[in-house]
Amino acid sequence: MSFLLSILIDGLIYASWLFIVSAGLTLIYGVMRVLNMAHGSFYAIGAYTAASLVGWYFNHDELPAFGSFAVMALGAIAVGFVAGLVTERGVLRFLRGRDEVVMVLVTFGLLLVYEDLIKFIWGVQSYYASQPYSLLGSTDIGEINFVNYDLAMIGVAGVVAAVLWWSLNRTRQGKLLRAVINDRENAVALGINVNRLFMATFAIGAGLGALAGGLSAPAIAVNPGLGVEVIVLAFAVVVTGGLGSVEGALIGAVLIGLARAAAVNLWPEAELFVIYGVMACVLAFRPRGLFVLDSARKI
């Protein structure tokens, strides 16, 4: 029992991280039909921002340690939001309506530009922001000790999922977004300001990517190349869940997280295989992922 419980907890922790990383990616695709390779860069920017802010924060002894969580998360979101805004206004808006493959290439170019920009700003040395990671202590569940920070990530992912669901389904702006997702042409015809929605969506998506990076920073050494490693996993999640579906990203993350945790504990050699094995199995039966976006029938 304790064995299964620990697999479940490990799986959910990993799934939480995967979901926060991929939520922004799938949101942007759903609204803009842009498969944003630069999402990995926003993750990296968030991690670097958080690491820098945590370093600065803990150099001020008079500040309460728990405040570092807010500084880390809000700082990462804010910088990611601005980076997203600049990217959308500075580049992507001029390429609106281009083929999805072209946009993949453009955003891949942006990923490379951001990688160099990150090196230009932060250099190539490692950054550490480990203080918040142990601040919440740890909990014994059965025979296994878990870090409370990791357990809290499950809650954070839940909050992100709930806020996204509520925003998309219960707010006026969310309903406008869903209208754009379902039928962009009709939405424009109805007078919805698609440009403004695109700008806001891209900035929010980038902010979510940066939040994921910021929350990861305390448990890793923040180094160049961080975003490149993450983007492959995020794609696996959103493709499994269905491109553009936030619910799909959530279910995809949980499936992959649990499968990986089970493999690590039961069949370690298959750890890498199961991530893509899950994706392949889903795509074999549902080629467009678990949750396919509705699309208007064109005549």
Partner 1 sequence: MRFWDKISFITALNIVALGMLASPPAVAADPIKLGLVAFYSGPVSGPVGMPSRKGADLIIEAINIGTLPAPYAGKGIGGRMIEPIYVDEAVEPVNEFRNLVQRQGADAVIGYSSSGSCVGVAPIAEELKVLTLFYYCGSTRTFEEGPKEYVFRTMNSQDVENIAAARYILSIKPNLKTLSGMNQNYGWGQESWRDFTKSVQKLKPGVTIATEQFPKIFAGQYGAEITALTRANADVIHSSFWGGDLDAFILQAAPRNLFQKQTAVLTTGGTAIDTLTKQIPEGTVIGVRGNGGALAPASAFHDWFRAAYQKKYGEQPSFPAYYMAQSVLALKAAGDKAAEQTKAVPSMDAIRKALSGLEFAAPSGIVSMSRHKGHQAVTDIAYGTFKLVDGKPTLINVKRYQPECVVPPEGVKSLDWIEAGFPGAKCD
Task: Kindly state the smallest distance separating residue 131's Cβ from partner 1, in Å.
Answer: 9
Q: Which of 216, 231, 274, 290 binds partner 1 (CB under 8 A)?
A: 216
How far is it, in rounded angstroms, from Cα 80 to Cα 74? 10
Q: What DSSP character marks residue 139? A: E
Residue 294: which region, alpha, beta or left (left: phi > 0; alpha: psi -120 to 50)?
beta
Which of 60, 125, 191, 287 contacts partner 1 by CB under 8 A? 125
Which of 58, 146, 165, 276 is in the footprint of partner 1 by CB under 8 A? Answer: 146
Among 264, 283, 292, 293, binds partner 1 (CB under 8 A): 264
Sole binder of partner 1 in the list 95, 121, 272, 296 (CB under 8 A): 272
Q: Does 117 bind partner 1 (CB under 8 A)?
A: no
Scanning 101-109, 140-148, 170-178, 289-297 for contacts with partner 1 by CB under 8 A, the matching segment is 140-148
Count of residues of this chain found to bind partner 1 when the rule CB under 8 A is applied: 43
Which CB sits closer to partner 1, 138 or 195?
138
Rg of the chain over all Cα atoms, to the nearest angstrom: 19
Q: Does 128 bind partner 1 (CB under 8 A)?
A: yes
Q: Are 42 and 24 in contact (CB under 8 A)?
A: yes
Which residue lies nearer to partner 1 by CB, 13 or 34?
13
What is the rounded distance in angstroms from the CA atom of residue 23 to the CA atom of residue 204? 10
Q: Which of 117, 113, 100 is nearest to 29 (CA)?
A: 100
Residues 224-253 binding partner 1 (CB under 8 A) are 224-226, 229
Residue from 54, 72, 77, 147 binding partner 1 (CB under 8 A): 147
CA max distance for the chain: 66
Cα torsion 230, 232, 238, 244: sign: positive
Q: How far apart are CA 52 and CA 46, in angstroms?
A: 10
Q: How many CB atoms lie within 10 A of CB 297?
A: 6
Q: Could you say whether residue 130 binds partner 1 (CB under 8 A)?
A: yes
For the record, the structure tokens of 150 come out as 């990791």
Q: Is 126 near partner 1 (CB under 8 A)?
A: yes
Residue 14 binds partner 1, judged by CB under 8 A: yes
Q: Which of 221, 283, 292, 293 binds partner 1 (CB under 8 A)?
A: 221
Residue among 34 and 254 whose Cβ is closer to partner 1:
254
Is residue 71 helix, strand or coil? Answer: helix
* 127-128 and 221-222 beta bridge pairing: antiparallel
Interaction of residue 65 with partner 1, rule CB under 8 A: no
| H or E, element range at 138 | strand 138-141
Residues in touch with partner 1 (CB under 8 A): 3, 6-7, 10-11, 13-14, 17, 115, 119, 124-126, 128, 130, 133-134, 138, 143-147, 149-150, 216, 218-221, 223-226, 229, 260-261, 264-265, 268-269, 271-272
